[in-house]
Chain A
Amino acid sequence: MPVIQIENLSFAYEKQKVLGNINLTVKEKDFLAIIGPNGGGKSTLLKLILGINTVKQGKIRVLGKKPKESLRNIGYVPQNTNVNTDFPIKVIEVVMMGHVDGKRPLFGYGTDEVLCAMGALKQVGMADFAQTKIGSLSGGQRQRVMIARALCAHPQILILDEPTSSIDITGQRDIYELLKVLNTHMTIIVVSHDISVILEYANKAAHVNKTLSYHDISDKQSTFHTHGNKGHFCEIELLQMLGAENCNTCEEEQPQWRLKP
């Protein structure tokens, strides 16, 4: 059974059409990268999968159920975790927000909840910071805490929206290495702008710009034609290759910059 099945999905905010005729199948333990231009509908697609936006046209099934019914199986790491850094809250308290409602003690948190949260923090390498105020962490550390919060509910699917947008290069690598480890036992979906980095780790890519084009990129050498140096992609080319209209002229255009994958 596919983990996520999307059929003929269209979505519009009031009159503005954002997504049209989307079809997507995500299999278990896929590492799917969702890329595309700003305003292309990436975040909207995520919000539909998470049940924040309601599906009006088409169908989404997450683990065979409607998005809202399988929320407890999805871990979500929202975009921009740098807001509200003054908030007086300890790392462990942030992580424990990830628990889905169920049995709760009258005051505070249950021992099992604390243990579970500590386990999640250990998994992302942040156990030593459990009692630290969240505002005193670096961007990369904070992102790890947000991943721990998502892991707290033992999800089968982990969805991250621009997880590395505010982190330095080494921090980005660390996050993706962590996702690679997590990918051995859960499905991962990442929306990202860091195209060349993400493509090194992802095995599937979906380019979203109103419509969706899907690529299996597990075998990178045969998927992309590279520029001289093996493994070097130009970001613009990648976008074009993965976009809906495949570009035939990229070989002639001089790349303006190169990013190491």
Chain B
Amino acid sequence: MIASIIEALQFDFMQHALLAGILVSFAAGIIGSLIVVNRMVFLAGGIAHTSYGGIGLAVYLGLPIFLGASLFSVAAALFIAALTLKKRHRMDTFIGLIWAVGMAIGVIFVDLTPGYNVDLMSYLFGSILAVSTQDLYFMAGLLLVILAVVTLKYRDILAVSYDSEYAGLRGVNVRFFYTLILVLSALTVVIAIKVVGLILVIAMLTIPVYIAEKLSNSLFTMMFLSGAIATLFTLVGLWMSYTYNLTSGASIIIVSALSLGLFLLAYRGR
């Protein structure tokens, strides 16, 4: 096994895949924790699917895919933030709406692009073996921003997530931090699309978090533990994918789901 791993790591694309897996998993663990404690899982799913609109647009205009997807999903996040701060009870309707409309826009733009047949599957299920150096910079940059925000603004984020009304009374800008969490989620979803694809991203944002939540007694521990667990799942999933020639994104999710099952069995007694 060790020999096969060393052999695999001789390839540039495997090194990139490994590095991307670690960067993205850590970001997903931290942001996934915030998404789960704020009960925004469905929302994150909506943003993930909406970003396909950005992918289609980028293909049509010949822009970098990352840029198109980022701009589009951040716009969707801002739109949702503005709407839900006013009409929280209609949130599910709006999410369902952007979910489908975003994908439809993406499909239409890809149709309109002459002579280019984009590999839809790679965005739906990820293409971690095709990570460029540029992608890695983007991922590392985002992880740094996320780390800076959650350490420097920890208590504000904690206050807004735990009890937003009270946080508002104590002078915390609830609107700002709520929007910030959404925008960071949107960007994390975009980088995670590269690793597991936009359909599977929701599992990456929730399974490690669910395990970490049971083992943590503070949000801070939960965020970093989720990051570590997600990284572990990604590495095992990648190894499985390489060894048995399976789709990497799906392998990562199956490893996560099986581990969750085992964890719950072991945890139940306690």
Contacts and interface: CB of A to CB of B under 8 A. Distances in A.
Interface of A: 50-52, 71, 76, 78, 84, 86-90, 93-94, 96-101, 104, 106-109, 131-133, 149, 153
Contacts of B155: 96-97, 104, 108-109
Contacts of B152: 106-107
Given A101-B171, A107-B151, A108-B154, A88 B166 contact: no
Contacts of A133: 217
Contacts of B169: 50-52, 71, 76
Nearest to B212: A88
CB-CB nearest 6 A-B residue pairs: A133-B217, A88-B216, A101-B171, A88-B222, A97-B159, A90-B218
A133 B213 CA distance: 11
Interface of A is mostly: loop
A149 to B, nearest CB: 8
A88 B221 contact: yes
Contact of A86 (B159, B170, B213): B213
B163 interface: yes
Which residue, of A90, A93, A97, A100, has the highest number of chain B Cβ atoms within 10 A?
A97
B170 A99 contact: yes
30 contacts: A51-B169, A52-B168, A78-B163, A78-B165, A78-B166, A84-B162, A87-B37, A87-B161, A87-B162, A87-B219, A88-B213, A88-B219, A88-B222, A89-B218, A93-B218, A94-B162, A96-B155, A97-B159, A97-B163, A97-B166, A99-B170, A100-B171, A101-B171, A101-B172, A104-B155, A107-B151, A109-B155, A131-B217, A132-B217, A149-B166
Nearest to B214: A88
Interface in B133-188: 151-152, 154-155, 158-159, 161-163, 165-172
Contacts of A99: 170
A87 B223 CA distance: 12
Interface of B: 37, 151-152, 154-155, 158-159, 161-163, 165-172, 213, 216-219, 221-222
B164 to A, nearest CB: 10
Contacts of A104: 155
B37 A88 contact: yes
Contacts of A109: 155
Nearest to B219: A88
A14 to B, nearest CB: 14
B163 A84 contact: yes
Given A84-B163, A89-B158, A97 B217 contact: no
B166 A101 contact: no
A100 B158 CA distance: 15
Nearest to A77: B166
Contacts of A100: 170-171
A71 B168 CA distance: 11
Contacts of B217: 88-90, 131-133
A71 B170 CA distance: 8
B171 A93 contact: no
Contacts of A88: 37, 213, 216-219, 221-222
A57 B167 CA distance: 27
A101 B221 contact: no
Given A88-B213, A88-B222, A107-B152, A101 B170 contact: yes
B34 to A, nearest CB: 12
Nearest to B156: A101
B159 to A, nearest CB: 5
Contacts of A94: 162
Nearest to A105: B155
A145 to B, nearest CB: 12
Contacts of B222: 88
Contact of A89 (B151, B165, B168, B219): B219
